[in-house]
Structure 1
Amino acid sequence: MKLAVEVIEMENETRLDQLKGDRSENIDASRCDLHTHTQASDGMQPPEENVRLAKEKGLIAVAITDHDTVAGVKEALEAGEKYGITVVPGVEISTRAGGKDIHVLGYYVDPANDLFLSRLEGLRETRALRNEAIISKLRGLGIKITLEAVVAGIGRELKPDESIGRPHIADELVRLGAATDMRDAFNKYLAESAAAYVSPPRITPEEACNWIIEAGGSPVLAHPGLYGDDQLVRGILERGTFKGIEVYHSDHKPADSERYLTMAEEYSLIITGGSDFHGARQGVVFHGDIGSVTVPFHVLDQLKKLADV
């Protein structure tokens, strides 16, 4: 991990300067958003549109990191050729540890790896069972919601390797008048400890790391600040074979990023970051707009070197 340590040492001063200023002012042609979602999972836009927007924002690279699927990667790579922008094939895997949902990002995974695709399919089946359980809880609360209506609300036919996420259920809750917007839907019903929250048995973060590495990729712990438990984060990092940590995220406060910057150095991890862009729902961009959180292009080189690319 000597290489990762060297990267961290070079970037510390730059990162701390970035924390003090407006992150939007740091977007330039050498920067990359390493966390975006598309219609392949719970994003609002086709993969090509994410790439086009990234180009429009002046980014040089964008990662496609859909939940438990790589279905959007092929279209995004083709769009990258079209718009002259680097597309990083990625994924965000759902795991469970310490009683919390933990997400593991994988960069430069092989989107044609049969074993990896089979494993992701199993995760989507778990996600489908969770969705049914959420709907059942919501109906038990007197809300007349159906999974069929949730799917219909998407407005298009889902592909076999695409999945329904909680934001889709939130959209239907808003349509039914049970919530004012997606944030309200999560706070009332879908977030951890909310009335209809369901968390089925999932793989561990360590297993997700192994899957990503076996698929030729580099595993990165996603948005550690959202877990609200740095002791848990440390335990996850110590047990897993992580190559990086998402220091910069739309929902991280500057103090969060400073803490994880220190943690990255402590554990010899590559510093990554991204907007967690999902698009706009009810006119509001959930998490952050594409390109609002970025890292320098050489971070991609470090991720590549630690992956089997």
Structure 2
Amino acid sequence: MNQPNGRCDLHTHSQASDGMQSPAANVELAKQKGLAAMALTDHDTVAGVAEALRTGEELGIEVVAGVEISTRAGGKDIHVLGYYVDIEDKTFLERLRNLREAREERNHRIIAKLQELGFAINWQEVIEGLGRPLEPDESIGRPHMADVLVSKGYATDMRDAFDRYLAEGKPGFVSVPRVAPEEACRWIREAGGAAVIAHPGLYGDDELVREIIQNSKPDGIEVFHADHDLAEERKYADLALEFGLIQTGGSDYHGVRQGVVFHGDLGSKSVAVGVLQSLQIAARRNRES
């Protein structure tokens, strides 16, 4: 590690899923922010990781091969982060492909729901909204649909689109069958990575989070996140200590939409680079088990 006292943002998204920038641009921004390392953790895909790794080598910033897997538990969408996964593991790639197929089914059902609400929106407009061709193994998410809602005046911005239509429990929300968190954690371990429960504060159910930890045996939990306040950081740090979990953190950076950074600016939440060593040790242990 070139910067033993440096910081790292372990939760960022690129155009390979629902981020606004290329993987290379994320790495360049991390370098500009003075970070020592960053992880690329796109939803249900590792399509952007190779580009991020190449850019990291060119710029002298460490890039962690990551992913964010969509799961379901306790009637809620739960996300599991994977770090140091083997992006060439064929079994893992096939599992992610199956998740993206479920995601695409969900997307089309969301469009149908929005149409039932009287909104003039279709799938082609969502794709055209990318401003570029959809590359193989990339994934489309709700933020892309939120962009169309905003552009057509149905919502004022991304947050408004989610709060009124796309968030869980809202009229346009759709849930499809997904794997359980324990299965996602197993997949990550089998792909040689370390598994981490993402942004527990967003689920609004700490008993469920505790149950997931007990059932899934993750390597870590995301204590520091753009949507966690100080009280939540302390609470999840205590939970990490209770279960012997690695305390990770990141901005959940998706770029700028309608002039608003979503969730947080890259580097706005970070952890010491020493956390990477803990994740590497966990990943190595998982590979050897």
TM category (shorter chain) comes to over 0.9
Deviation at 1:58, TM superposition (A): 0.4
Match 2:65 to one of 46, 66, 89: 89
The reply on whether 1:256 has 2:232 as its aligned counterpart is yes
TM-score between the two structures when normalised by the length of structure 2: 0.96
Residue in 1 that maps onto 2:118: 142
Cα distance in 2 for partners of 1:50, 1:83 equals 12
Residue in 1 that maps onto 2:156: 180
1:29 and 1:59 in contact (8 A); partners too: no
The reply on whether 1:265 has 2:248 as its aligned counterpart is no
Cα RMSD of the aligned pairs, angstroms, is: 0.9
Cα distance in 1 for partners of 2:115, 2:5 equals 49
Cα distance in 2 for partners of 1:281, 1:192 equals 21
Cα distance in 1 for partners of 2:137, 2:5 equals 33
1:29 and 1:58 in contact (8 A); partners too: no
Match 1:216 to one of 192, 197, 201: 192
TM-score between the two structures when normalised by the length of structure 1: 0.90
Runs of 4+ in 1 over 4 A off after TM superposition: none
Residue in 1 that maps onto 2:84: 108
Residue in 1 that maps onto 2:48: 72
Cα distance in 1 for partners of 2:47, 2:217 equals 25
Residue in 1 that maps onto 2:13: 37
Structure 1: which 5+ runs fail to align? 1-27
Match 2:269 to one of 293, 299, 309: 293
Q: Give the number of equivalent residue pairs.
A: 282
1:31 and 1:296 in contact (8 A); partners too: yes
The reply on whether 1:242 has 2:218 as its aligned counterpart is yes
2:35 and 2:267 in contact (8 A); partners too: yes
1:210 and 1:241 in contact (8 A); partners too: no
2:5 and 2:272 in contact (8 A); partners too: no
Deviation at 1:241, TM superposition (A): 2.1
1:279 and 1:289 in contact (8 A); partners too: yes
Summarize deviations over 1:58-90 as a string: whole Å, max 9, x none: 000000000000001000000001110000000
- Residue type matched to 2:236 in 1? Y
The reply on whether 1:195 has 2:171 as its aligned counterpart is yes
The sequence identity of aligned pairs, in percent, is 63
Cα distance in 1 for partners of 2:164, 2:126 equals 18
Deviation at 1:29, TM superposition (A): 6.0
The reply on whether 1:99 has 2:75 as its aligned counterpart is yes
Structure 2: which 5+ runs fail to align? none
- Residue type matched to 2:256 in 1? A
